[in-house]
Amino acid sequence: MTEFNKILIANRGEIAIRIMRAANEMGKKTVAVYAEEDKLGLHRFKADEAYRIGEGMGPVAAYLSIEEIIRVAKHCGADAIHPGYGLLSENPDFVDACDAAGITFIGPKAATMRALGDKASARRVAIEAGVPVIPATEVLGSDMAAVKREAAEVGYPLMLKASWGGGGRGMRPIFGEDEVEEKVLEGRREAEAAFGNGEGYLEKMIMRARHVEVQILGDAHGGMYHLFERDCSVQRRNQKVVERAPAPYLSEEQRTEICALGRKICAHVNYECAGTVEFLMDMDDGKFYFIEVNPRVQVEHTVTEEVTGIDIVQAQIRIAEGKTIAEATGKASQDDVRLNGHALQTRITTEDPLNNFIPDYGRITAFREAQGMGIRLDGGTAYSGGVITRYYDSLLMKVTAHAQTPEAAIARMDRALR
């Protein structure tokens, strides 16, 4: 068992600061990396040490440079690297590079990531594990006539999905054969730009659906807990906008069922660290269908932390140090993980609602935070005088409200946002 002294955070903004807070409470030193365009980024100044990366590279390419991040980690003597979410967090080559450098990657193994990070491969794992999946094609080839035949076999309407990555990138609804070629090519270009891999597949679209996901923690000793579920059905352009825990429309029997399915697929691949298993719930018949596994911490993890009292990032770190889930969470068994109240999360962004929600940029001249009982703020670049560039995500801050009833949590969120 290894105790980390220094953790490098291979990310920026809100999630980098979130990880630094968790590490700081554990008495561990933190290291930030930043691109030239991010030199005024708040995460740079929250860390114990900070290093510029990616000289001569683009603003995003710098954070995607495995070589640069490993160079800094070795230079500063970091024991471990936490990838956060996005960027390199789902890249198995990055895990391999950490292993080769003798630095612990705080996350699942590379083999697990390869099995689950590719959505098409994850479907096969789900089928092997006996978890229901939505009818879909295999990974699409370049022969468009063959793609149209496969689409017809599954049946319209369909959803095009990128095999790698998340966040709705590369997703396109397809309602008929006349839309197939244009949307498949369009989706491939977006996925290629976002993840460096344009692979995708077609999946049957469920018209009346809820998006429900299960938070999982697994350790290297065969232990596995679920931390219940979240609802992420409120989305815009396939990006989650409001997240809730627990899902208020599930019966206790449905909650037990979906959490068991989440554990089942992760147990099948001996999953380690934090991960999220995502499902669609067909509101017409109440059935759950596996979508994908996100092998990392999620943007919306805060709502689960609020209703379970478990710090997911600290649990990730302790599991990576070799501890059991019981040691990592302070919960002796799955039965000791209990729900306490209701939480929801919203995102404060720079998007302009009068201009099709296009991300805005410039200097923040004034900023006032919401405060008060039951409100949690996870900030990244939101402060008076802060400079928002055009290069990165438009997220400024996450607001999480917690109360004993859904109505009270919603009221707190409403007050905080106003």
CATH number of the domain that residue 141 is part of = 3.30.1490.20
CB contact at 8 A, 237 and 168: yes
Neighbouring C-beta atoms of residue 229, cutoff 10 Å: 26
Peptide bond into 59 cis (omega under 30): no
Cβ distance 160 to 139 under 8 Å? no
The pLDDT of residue 359 is 87
pLDDT of residue 167: 66
Q: pLDDT below 50 — which residues of the chain?
A: none
Looking at the structure, tell me whether residues 314 and 231 fall in a common domain. yes
Q: Does 112 map to a domain? A: no
Give residue 101's domain range. 6-106
Question: Do 226 and 170 belong to one domain?
Answer: no
Q: What is the CATH number of the domain that holds 386?
A: 3.30.470.20
Query: Which of the listed residues 188, 204, 220 is the one where a domain comes to its end?
Result: 204
Does a structural domain hold residue 123? Answer: no
Asked if 96 and 231 sit in the same domain, the reply is no
CA 180/CA 188 separation, integer angstroms: 12
363 and 215, same structural domain? yes
Annotated catalytic residue, options 296, 318, 347, 412:
296
Catalytic status, residue 188:
no
Query: Residue 153 falls within a domain, yes or no?
Result: yes
In a domain, 113, yes or no: no
- How many structural domains comprise the chain? 3
* 245 plus 143 within the same structural domain: no
pLDDT of residue 243: 97
The domain boundary, picked from 106, 124, 149, lies at 106
Residues 6+ apart with CB under 8 A from 396: 348, 349, 350, 379, 380, 381, 382, 388
Residue range 335-382, pLDDT digits in tens: 999 999 999 999 998 888 888 888 888 899 998 999 999 999 998 888
